[in-house]
A and B are shown apart, each in its own frame.
Chain A
Amino acid sequence: EAQVTQNPRYLITVTGKKLTVTCSQNMNHEYMSWYRQDPGLGLRQIYYSMNVEVTDKGDVPEGYKVSRKEKRNFPLILESPSPNQTSLYFCASSFGGGTQIYEQYFGPGTRLTVT
């Protein structure tokens, strides 16, 4: 089954404790992206990756890191989480290429609470 998986689905942590949210897709998609969703603000893009070893900042990259060492995986790293990073996080992937943009497939979400 074609899917995007995220782990963990729920996480409660404390300020400053490094964490990683994993994202994996089995559709051989070139493009992957991370979003956060907050009430009243919609989805905002954190980082995206056009392919292996190619990443770029979205609209709200501060406090986050990403890496794309393999095509299928795109982990989101919070080196020192703060309470304002409490949010619902989504990973997404799609085919990519040139100037085209295709439908994105979303993971089920990770609800993160930083106390």
Chain B
Amino acid sequence: SQQGEEDPQALSIQEGENATMNCSYKTSINNLQWYRQNSGRGLVHLILIRSNEREKHSGRLRVTLDTSKKSSSLLITASRAADTASYFCAMREVNTGFQKLVFGTGTRLLVSP
């Protein structure tokens, strides 16, 4: 099965700036999720966007999905040092087993005070 590719692999910004990370995939999906992982810890779900949605917001997070380009982006606005973490996209591919999630390789975000 495919694996999502995330871009950039690493991102370093200052507090207050916006952070944008992108996820691309190869086959059709039912939905796409974004997770955050603090160093060495378990992943925490951030947001889920379905294949028939184009944009979704949750607090300072904005996710877009372009199924024609097979890509999604996560925007974190007004970033804080506490946003420092790795961010992963995860997708459920169409025509695969139920509840089978495929994760991207992740973007490491560093937000400096």
Q: List chain A positions with a Cβ less than 8 A from chain B.
A: 4, 31, 33, 35, 40-45, 48, 50, 56, 58-59, 88, 90, 92, 94, 96, 98-99, 101-109, 111
Contact = CB atoms under 8 A, between A and B. Distances in A.
- Please tell me the size bucket of the interface on B: 20 to 34
Nearest to B44: A106
Given A42-B105, A101-B92, A33 B99 contact: yes
25 contacts: A33-B99, A42-B103, A42-B104, A43-B43, A43-B88, A43-B90, A45-B101, A56-B97, A59-B1, A88-B40, A90-B42, A90-B43, A94-B99, A96-B98, A96-B99, A101-B30, A101-B31, A101-B99, A101-B101, A102-B48, A103-B48, A104-B35, A104-B45, A108-B41, A109-B42
B99 A50 contact: yes
A50 B88 CA distance: 23
B10 to A, nearest CB: 12
Describe A's contact surface by its main secondary structure: strand
B67 interface: no
